[in-house]
Structure 1
Amino acid sequence: MRILHTSDWHLGRSFHRADLLGDQAAYVDHLLEVVASEEVDLVVVAGDVYDRALPPVDAVRLADETFARLAASRARVVVTSGNHDSARRLGFGSRLMDAAGVHVRTDPASVGTPVVVDDAHGPVAVYGLPYLDPDAVREPWGLTSRSHEAALGAAMARVRADLAGRGARSVVLAHAFVAGAQPSESERDISVGGVQRVPTSVFEGVDYVALGHLHAPHTLDERIRYSGSPLAYSFSEAAQVKGSWLVDLAADGVVATTFVPAPVPRPLARLRGTLADLLADPGLAEHEGAWVQATLTDDVRPRQPMEQLQQRFPHTLVLAFEPTTTLPGTPVARPAAGRSAHDVTLDFVAEVRGLGATAEEAALLASACEACTGDRDADRENGPEAVAG
């Protein structure tokens, strides 16, 4: 059986306020092309279909179109909910979708009931484990420990009990943080009381485990893998190759895998240096079409740095300042009797920028201080030096 393992679509997510829905739609096109060209029998989506519990209307529309296209393809589909999804909303209509070959599993009570997919070598039992919040399943499942390991352990006990009477090959989908993998900055913390990691031993006895939650592809062992997200959702993922796993499940349960890279609609670049260097360095030409995170190392903070950077790198989204040396600045004075708010703001500018305000900036700050005063007439009579914060 040929399986395509994907996860963490996060439909509706933006990237530092940049809309990604068009890029996510392009990934769906790629997914369908792989299903057709590689003759995929089963697509598994291991959670986080949406980016939030109440997804935007356009994201819901894209998910609907995606599932309809997958239903019309040659593949069966099993989808589980992740910690970003609303299990109830994602699971709406799941019994109707079963008839179309798209099996959405979001109810913890059903973890021991597989979707059975047959190939020339017999049945494959596919167990979709939704994201299991330990607090939500602790009481109904009688758990003695408040942890993800306890929740997944209880779910896998149900899986093994069902599997024991089948003699079938097995696939498990799970959305969790499994020990041995490294997170990115864009995943939501799912720790409960500091306990979040799950050992790989929880999944003993399963032929292939399709994991979701972490956004980088990981191989924990030959049969336990993260596919990662199809797009980069933070600059910490700039060096990651995104995609999905193509898994061949043999008659004896042995797996062979191939990583299928996803299209890159716009690369990510993390640039560092002085503003002048970033604007002039010919070696940075390859990043002019990328999403850019720039860290400026100028000792004196440049004026209008974002505007200048976007002249060369129009898709600059994030700007940070880390001067290479610390210049002695003017200590920030606090308002005191006989000292105007205008003077305090001028000191503040000098402190954070390492350079005093220009005449134009000083005039603008004076106007702002005047606008904030409680007695404007008194300030006009007494002059700017009388303005109090």
Structure 2
Amino acid sequence: MKLIHLSDLHLGKRVNEFSMLEDQEYILERILGIVREEKPDGVIIAGDVYDKPVPPAEAVQLFDRFLTNLADGSAPVFIISGNHDSPERLSFGCRLMRDKGVHIAPVYDGTVEYVTLINGGTEARIYLLPFLKPAHVRRYFPETEIDSYEKALETVVGNMELEPGVCNVLVAHQFITGAGRSDSEEVSVGGLDNIDSSVFKDFDYVALGHIHRPQQAGGENMRYCGSPLKYSFSEAAHEKSVTVAEIEGKGKINISTRQLIPLHDMRELRGSYEELTDRRNYKDTAVDDYLHITLTDEEEILDAIGKLRSVYPNIMKLDYDNMRTRKMQSVSGPGDEGRTDKSPAGFFEELYELQNNQEMGAEQKEYLQRLIEDIWEDGR
């Protein structure tokens, strides 16, 4: 039995004020191609379908097209809500969709729904567990002291009746202790959302969402498939993929991946303005990738981002790494209070040196002098 495992689509997301919808549409088409090639027995989407509880209309339309194309295939689809989703909105019409083979986890009501899959001699139960906080669980188990995420999930799993003779697959969207996070994920202060992997030890495969880097979590049978796109520069070195889980029998799971190549990669570049704008250095590179550029020039470049975008149109972030940024000094003010022995230009040069850990250049001094003279003339 073969399962395609996806999560964290975050449809409608904006990264550094750039809409990712075009990139998301592109990558969903690549995923549909993989599904057609792999011919799985089921497709799992482990939460965070959308980036916001109330997603933009374009994101809903994109998911509608994607889901319709998935449902047109022969494999059923299994979906849960993540911490970014509204479980009520995502599960709207879930009972009507079952006849189309689309199984969406309903709002948690104290029980966890499952769907039975049979392929040849392999039988599996797919349990759909939406993202839960302790408050979601307490109302259904008032006699149990639930003071943490881990206790909440222990309670939920402890009240699920697993069938020992079949392969039990859990679809969940939680943070397993020890998993490597990225900047684009929501982080609970102090790791309050941590759950030990032993909570899910009785399942043959745990298809996890929430963490954006593909990785195992607590065991070979527990896996984060990761997001299909990079959503922060902390993910620049990640290789995104689709997880393919093949169940050969009770306790026998083989994991493989299919790489996802994005429309625009997310990369970091570093160098001086002259180096980065030298055609010999950027020729035959993907200049339209999403970029974080770090300039090493000691002097700031006037309208650097505007000039750089003539070469690299999709710069998301620009900063400097030089003497000034490496050794920031607190500035109390140039000169002693009441001093009158320095010209306005002299005070400004002193302030500049305090802020930038270097003297003004000749061209800067000349520009400053002209500026002061123009201001002085206008003030007369």
**Which TM-score tier does this pair reach, normalised by the shorter chain?**
0.7 to 0.9
Distance (whole Å) between structure 2 residues aligned to residue 245 and residue 349 of structure 1: 56
1:325-377 deviations in whole A, cap 9, x for unaligned?
5599975469x9999xx99x9689836566468459957x969xxxxxxxxxx
2:152 partner letter = A
Q: Which residue of 2 aligns with 1:248?
A: 246
Counterpart contact for 1:268–1:292, Cα < 8 Å: yes
Structure 2 residue matching 1:257: 3-state secondary structure? strand
* Matching of residue 317 in structure 1 with residue 316 in structure 2: yes
Which residues of 2 match residues 1-389 of structure 1 at below 5 A? 1-109=1-109, 111-142=111-142, 143-159=144-160, 162-164=161-163, 167-191=165-189, 194-220=191-217, 221-280=219-278, 282-285=280-283, 286-324=285-323, 326=327, 332=333, 350=352, 352=355, 355=360, 358=367, 362=371, 384=379
Deviation at 1:198, TM superposition (A): 1.2
Alignment gaps of 5+ in structure 2: none
- Answer whether contact 2:172 2:208 (CA < 8 A) is retained: yes
Which whole-Å deviations, capped at 9, do the CAs of 1:2-60 have from their partners, x for residues lacking one? 10000000000122222211221122222222222111110011000000011000001
Question: Which deviates more, 104-113 or 144-153?
Answer: 104-113
* Deviations 1:57-113 (CA, angstroms, capped at 9, x unpaired): 000111112222211111111100000001111111111111211111142226433
Q: Give me the TM-score of the superposition, normalised by structure 1.
A: 0.83
CA offset at residue 274 of structure 1?
A: 2.3
- The percentage of counterpart residues that share the same residue type is 31
**Cα distance between partner residues in 2 of 1:289 and 1:317:** 11
2:269 and 2:293 in contact (8 A); partners too: yes
Q: 1:186 is matched by which residue type in structure 2?
A: S
Instruction: Please list the CA deviations of residues 206-261 of structure 1 after superposition, one character each: whole Å capped at 9, or x if unmatched.
Output: 11100100111001222110000000001111111111111111133311111111
Letter in 2 for 1:304: D
Report SS of the residue matched to 1:318.
Answer: strand
Is the alpha carbon distance of 1:163 and 1:346 closer, same or farther for their aligned partners in structure 2, counting shifts above 3 Å?
Answer: same
Deviation at 1:178, TM superposition (A): 0.6
Contact 2:2-2:244 at 8 Å conserved across structures = yes
Change (3 A) 1:150 1:360: farther
Judging changes above 3 Å, is the alpha-carbon distance between structure 1 residues 111 and 189 closer, same or farther for their aligned structure 2 residues? Answer: farther
> Please, which moves more after superposition, 136-145 or 253-262?
136-145
CA contact under 8 A between 1:331 and 1:347: conserved in structure 2? no
Unaligned runs of 5+ in 1: 368-379
